[in-house]
Amino acid sequence: MLFTCFMKRRYYLYAVLVLLFVVALFYSRADSKQEQFSEKVKISLREVGNQLLLAQQDSTSLVLPIIELEASNYQLSFEKAFSFNPASLVTFIADSFQQSGLPESYRTVVIRCDDKEVAYSYEMNVGKEKTLIPCGGRLLPAKCYTITVRFVDIKQQQTHSNAYWYLIIFLLILGGIEVFLYWKKRAQVPLEGNDAFAALGSFRFYPDQNKLIKEALEIALSKKEGELLAIFIATPNKVIKRDELTKKVWEDHGVIVGRSLDTYISKLRRKLESDDSIKITNIHGIGYKLEINT
């Protein structure tokens, strides 16, 4: 019952870990995609600024660093006042965004620096019927301008394929841990029923029948040998004191022994010697330890 409860709790923990992993994965992927998108927009808008200045035969003025005002909203500004044709702005932005593979739906606003009034604006959409471009033939006078571009209806890029692979690898790791814990626990859980056995290297130990089986070979154990081996299997790779072994196997049954423990340990060693991964080690002055080399 306790083992079943333990297993259920571990499964709940694994479920929570998987959920946290997936959430963290999608957020990290989304952040990475957003950063790449932002860099592409900034490069494209700098090219737009450069084209606007060159159209006015200005090859010396600087295009100031592109500012990301908020998600999907970017600002293009200039070192000096200049004049430009809005129609050229529409063309430069459309061509630059197309070359960079940026979304086709965006809203552009030209703002005067002195009074923050909108000097020109338009909206581009994938569907031409939703595109709004006012007359752009009038040349805007030489002033300080900032140009903002806001992308609308941006579709999230698909990251599911890679995410699934990461999730599969993560689950395989958890599965490996689960198998390891299962086999480790199997050798330690209380055994019930005549057919119950514990895995011990290449052996199967049947405590209720006092026997070891290795492939087709059956090795009979005395009652005391079986009791000793059951104690060792319950706590593998840990030192068990001589007093504890003597008390559980002999004294609890009203029998006082001298060197009987060492004699039975020697018998067990001989019966287990065909498997090099199993060894009962004498810890001098303390007790014995069942060493299982996995």
- pLDDT for 43 equals 94
6 pLDDT exceeds 60?
no
List CB contacts of 279: < 8 A, sequence separation 6 or more.
269, 272, 290, 291, 293
Helix (H) or strand (E) holding 106: strand 106-112
- pLDDT for 283 equals 92
**DSSP-derived secondary structure letter, 238:** S
Residue 194 confidence class, pLDDT cut points 50, 70, 90: low
- By CB atoms closer than 10 A (0-12, 13-18, 19+), residue 94 is middle
Per the model's pLDDT, the better-predicted residue between 186 and 170 turns out to be 170
CA distance 111 to 63: 16
Coil vs helix vs strand at 222 = coil
Asked which of 20-34, 43-57, 99-113, 179-193 is least confident by mean pLDDT, the reply is 179-193
Average pLDDT over residues 113-123: 92
CA distance 254 to 129: 99
> Which pTM was predicted?
0.45
Nearest to 83 by CA among 141, 9, 154, 144: 141
CB atoms within 10 A of CB 96: 20
pLDDT in tens, 93-103: 999 999 998 98
- pLDDT for 37 equals 87
- pLDDT for 260 equals 81
Fold of 193-292: Arc Repressor Mutant, subunit A (1.10.10)
Per the model's pLDDT, the better-predicted residue between 66 and 32 turns out to be 66
Contact 94, 45 (CB under 8 A): no
- Helices (H) and strands (E) counted in the chain, each on its own, are 6, 14
Per the model's pLDDT, the better-predicted residue between 14 and 138 turns out to be 138
Neighbouring-strand partners of residue 171:
none
Contact 58, 83 (CB under 8 A): no
Give the long-range contacts of residues 216-223, CB within 8 A, separation 24 or more: 219/271, 221/268, 221/271, 222/264, 222/267
pLDDT in tens, 206-216: 888 888 888 77
CA distance 18 to 24: 10
- pLDDT for 176 equals 75
Highest mean pLDDT, choosing among 126-130, 243-247, 252-256 = 243-247
166 pLDDT exceeds 50?
yes
Nearest to 33 by CA among 160, 152, 153: 160
pLDDT in tens, 46-93: 999 999 999 989 989 999 999 999 888 999 999 999 999 999 999 999
